[in-house]
Amino acid sequence: DWGARTHAALERPNLSKCQAWSPDPRSLLDVELLLEPPADSDPMPDVPARARMCRLPGGALRPGLRVLGNPLGSDAYCAAFYASKASDTGVLVDAIIRLSASDILHAAQSAYLLLRYCALPKVTHLLRAARPALIRPAALVHDAHIARGLSHIVGSGDWLCVDPASAAARPRAWRDA
């Protein structure tokens, strides 16, 4: 078994990678654990290992966990995770806007490439595994940040806004397109 081979090779398993989550911790009672942590490094020696899998080090129930960069857990945990990623996009876009406004040669091109390859994927990759109802608010915030950043890079004004009332303020070439 994996646990015995790991110990035989004189290696220590990374127990932070051994996590489980369930909306009801009792559902994990039937899970067979292949690896028990050594007693000297056990952060919660009085809590059975099966119950420990869905608890934080302080003993509180784990609201969720990340699996391959995507949240797995309660709706509140997932929504907060998505909102945090959308907020991170705003911080990154602010820095990209500062770059695009600088006098550096090729600043606009550099800012566009950073926006496209660094800021845009912050939330878009999460769409593959997210429930639409949970990620929609974060996706709207993320899209607003990206549109704001692109508007600053391609020219002054908010030409990418989706408000129909502001269509008259757009250049004629953009309105006719």
Q: What is the largest CA-CA distance in the chain?
A: 73
Rounded distance, CA 82 to CA 70, Å?
Answer: 9
| pLDDT of 142 | 95
Rounded distance, CA 76 to CA 22, Å?
Answer: 14
Q: Which residue has the higher pLDDT, 87 or 176?
A: 87
pLDDT-derived band at 95 (thresholds 50, 70, 90) equals very high
Count the helix, strand and coil residues of the chain and give each as a percent rounded to the nearest 5: 60, 5, 35
Rounded distance, CA 95 to CA 153, Å?
Answer: 12
H or E segment and range at residue 38:
none
Question: Mapping DSSP to helix (H, G, I), strand (E, B) and coil, where does residue 156 land?
Answer: coil
Per the confidence metrics, is the pTM higher than 0.75? no
Is the Cβ–Cβ distance between 77 and 71 less than 8 Å?
A: yes
